[in-house]
Amino acid sequence: MYFFRNDYSEGALPQVMEALARTNACSTVGYGDDPYCHEAASKIRHRFGCPNADVHFLVGGTQTNLTFLSAALRPWEAVIAAGTAHIATHETGAIEACGHKVCTVPTADGKLRPEQIRQVYADHGAGRDEHMVLPKLVYLSNATELGTVYTRAELTAISQTCRELGLYLYLDGARLAQALTSPGCRLQPEDLADLCDAFYIGGTKNGLLFGEALVIARDCLKPNFRHAIKQRGGMLAKGRLLGLQFSTVFDDDLWLQAARHANQLAARLTEGLRAAGWPLLVDSPTNQVFPILPNDRVVLLEQEFSFERWGAVDDGHTAVRLVTSWATEPAAVDALLAALRP
């Protein structure tokens, strides 16, 4: 069985495993106040060009999203997000469970536009109608849940819109490395801290055992955030594990190398699918590919390959999601393409 189900089907990059083994017996204080975490935070601040940012390490993405959003917002404040946003579709209402409405807008490609943000803001009385929630934070994913990416110009325009309207801009970077290494991407790490108020760098989907690094750039969002982490159950006792893993992958830009591998394998897959004539649901330059297949081919394919059905396109066709990762081998891609020969 070849796995294209997700980018977290295996353990961790060999370098990460090696570091964990090497330091296993060292004694440190807990809760992320250890030398590994300090070192990792320092490397991240340097790599993202934000010497004054706060960096926190959390175990998973839903946890990071709910902890940050609930710490940033007052009870009546709400989030603006694309209809496909992870927080709106696959986090079991975690943001609502913290008390906040997520105002979604439909998109074809998973990407929010400035004019959509303006419209949601206006539709809620521009913050002056107390009978409605007050939109206060824009949530983006990059890469998006559909594998698409924001260009530097697009992210800049959204950032300007947010600042004009007094909205926070938060970027869910579960697959940030994959976005940054996508072909033709001109967005640089240092742009993130400049354009966003906060964002996180995904580790779970990019070769760590687990872990996300939250970067808070905006001063007013920094105080007491460790209280928030602890209260929401996200403070890892052996926080050292998070620091050590991030510290490891920020050496030699290993985090970008791992993502580039995933993207390259996805490109090989896309190319093969196109050559075989299969249509794609969306044009994705990162490590998620969404071919549209006849239903009977999907059933056949499932016998040898593990992947997710994304949704029915029409009565006879289904879009499926194929995900590559740092661990995907070319042979697996070739096997899949062979199985999909027309």
Could you tell me whether strands 292-294 and 168-172 are parallel, antiparallel, or unpaired per DSSP bridges? Answer: unpaired
Q: Rule CB under 8 A: is residue 172 a binding residue for its own copies?
A: no
Q: Rule CB under 8 A: is residue 133 a binding residue for its own copies?
A: yes
* Helical spans, DSSP H, in 58-151: 61-72, 86-89, 94-97, 114-123
Query: What does the alpha-carbon distance between residue 182 and residue 333 come to, in Å, rounded to a whole number?
Result: 18
105 has which bridge partners? 82
Q: Rule CB under 8 A: is residue 70 a binding residue for its own copies?
A: yes
- C-alpha distance from residue 307 to each of 10, 88, 288, 303 (Å): 14, 22, 11, 10
Which of 8, 250, 255, 305 is close enough to bind its own copies by CB under 8 A? 8
Q: Are 116 and 162 in contact (CB under 8 A)?
A: no
Q: By CB neighbour count within 10 A (0-12 exposed, 13-18 middle, 19+ buried), where does 237 fall?
A: exposed
What tokens does 131 get?
């009978």
Q: Rule CB under 8 A: is residue 15 a binding residue for its own copies?
A: no
Q: Are 292 and 318 in contact (CB under 8 A)?
A: yes
Tokens 């007050």 appear where? Answer: 134
Q: Rule CB under 8 A: is residue 175 a binding residue for its own copies?
A: no
Site track for its own copies across 212-231, x = CB under 8 A: ------------x-xxxxxx
Of residues 154 and 308, the one with the C-beta less far from its own copies: 308
- The DSSP H or E segment spanning 227 is helix 225-231
Of residues 9 and 151, the one with the C-beta less far from its own copies: 9
Q: Is the peptide bond before 94 cis (omega within 30 degrees of 0)?
A: no
Q: Rule CB under 8 A: is residue 1 a binding residue for its own copies?
A: yes
Which of 51, 131, 315, 341 is close enough to bind its own copies by CB under 8 A? 131
Q: Shortest approach of its own copies to residue 102 CB, angstroms?
A: 8
Q: Which stretch binds its own copies (CB under 8 A): 71-79, 160-168, 292-300, 312-320?
A: 71-79
Task: Please measure the distance between the N-terminal and C-terminal CA atoms of the chain and give it in whole angstroms.
Answer: 21
Which of 46, 52, 75, 122 is close enough to bind its own copies by CB under 8 A? 75
Q: Rule CB under 8 A: is residue 21 a binding residue for its own copies?
A: yes
Residues 182-201 that bind its own copies (CB under 8 A): none
What tokens does 305 get?
């390959």
Which of 36, 37, 55, 63 is close enough to bind its own copies by CB under 8 A? 63
Q: Rule CB under 8 A: is residue 309 a binding residue for its own copies?
A: no
Q: Rule CB under 8 A: is residue 24 a binding residue for its own copies?
A: yes
Of residues 51 and 237, the one with the C-beta less far from its own copies: 237
Q: Which stretch binds its own copies (CB under 8 A): 126-134, 179-187, 316-324, 334-342?
A: 126-134
Which of 15, 17, 47, 118 is close enough to bind its own copies by CB under 8 A? 17
Q: Are 276 and 264 in contact (CB under 8 A)?
A: no
Residues 6+ apart with CB under 8 A from 251: 15, 43
Which of 46, 76, 115, 302 is close enough to bind its own copies by CB under 8 A? 76
Which of 54, 91, 145, 197 is close enough to bind its own copies by CB under 8 A? 91
Q: Which stretch binds its own copies (CB under 8 A): 26-34, 177-185, 191-199, 272-280?
A: 26-34
- C-alpha distance from residue 149 to each of 62, 161, 185 (Å): 20, 18, 8
Phi, psi of 139, deg, nearest 5: -105, 120
Q: Rule CB under 8 A: is residue 10 a binding residue for its own copies?
A: yes
Which of 232, 260, 261, 321 is close enough to bind its own copies by CB under 8 A? 232
Q: Rule CB under 8 A: is residue 96 a binding residue for its own copies?
A: yes
Q: Rule CB under 8 A: is residue 178 a binding residue for its own copies?
A: no
